[in-house]
Structure 1
Amino acid sequence: MSSLTVLNTTAVPDHVRGALTRWMIEPTPGLYVGTLSGRVRDELWHVVSASIGAGAAVLVHPEANEQGYALRTAGERRRIPLDFDGLTLIAFRPEEPPEIASPPD
């Protein structure tokens, strides 16, 4: 059964964007929305996550759980999804302080 799927990308290669627009619409840059079967959704996610490069992606789709959806991520992001007894929450990575140069000897 097909269901609404939302995929957000940041700095992904052009060939990935092309593959996504074959199956989904892109209402704003990097945001893809479509009604996909589970099989197509999983194949598209495999393509995106395998060729993410320096970019990042987040996939949200319906799931039979308490929240009613599942969240998948690929690439480096400041926000990290964490599972707390079946409930997905978002944690922030701490910002790394700027490196302080040591004084010359």
Structure 2
Amino acid sequence: MLVIVVANVPPALRGRLALWLLEVRAGVYVGRLSKRNRERLWQTVIDNLGEGDAVIVTPDAKAEDGFAVRTAGANRRRPEDWDGLTLIAFHPENDAASEPDSAGGVAASGLSQ
């Protein structure tokens, strides 16, 4: 299963996500895609994010908790790996805006960039 949560993104991106995934709440998309399609969709999110932010949760058999978390955009909550467990660090508002994410977002739980 895959979960993507977006906030403050352009309507075109929300429409693109709705083509592939089920929108269970405003900005929360769930579904099941192959790894190839999942990566392509995540790249579409990154490319069309605008001023918004996004987080993706995907299965990861290598991770202790069984899933991986990546973020894109100026997100105050960032996943951090602590001895194999993914914890979410909450950064002050001015920190989140001053540290842009890389193209793939923040990697955690065994994901590599």
The TM-score range, normalised by the shorter chain, is: 0.7 to 0.9
Identity of aligned residues (%): 51
Q: Does 1:35 align with 2:24?
A: no
Aligned residue number for residue 101 of structure 1: none
Residue 86 of structure 1: how far off its partner (Å): 2.6
In the alignment, the residues of structure 1 paired with residue 43 and residue 93 of structure 2 have an alpha-carbon distance, to the nearest angstrom, of: 29
| Higher share in helix | 2
| Higher share in strand | 1
In the alignment, the residues of structure 2 paired with residue 60 and residue 82 of structure 1 have an alpha-carbon distance, to the nearest angstrom, of: 13
CA RMSD of aligned residues (A): 1.2
In the alignment, the residues of structure 1 paired with residue 39 and residue 69 of structure 2 have an alpha-carbon distance, to the nearest angstrom, of: 12
Residue 76 of structure 1: how far off its partner (Å): 0.8
List structure 1 runs of 4+ shifted beyond 4 angstroms. none
TM-score (norm 2): 0.77
Structure 2 residue ranges without an equivalent (≥5): 95-113
Residue 94 of structure 1: how far off its partner (Å): 2.7
Structure 1 residue ranges without an equivalent (≥5): 97-105
Structure whose alpha-carbon radius of gyration is higher: 1
What is the number of residues matched between the two proteins? 93
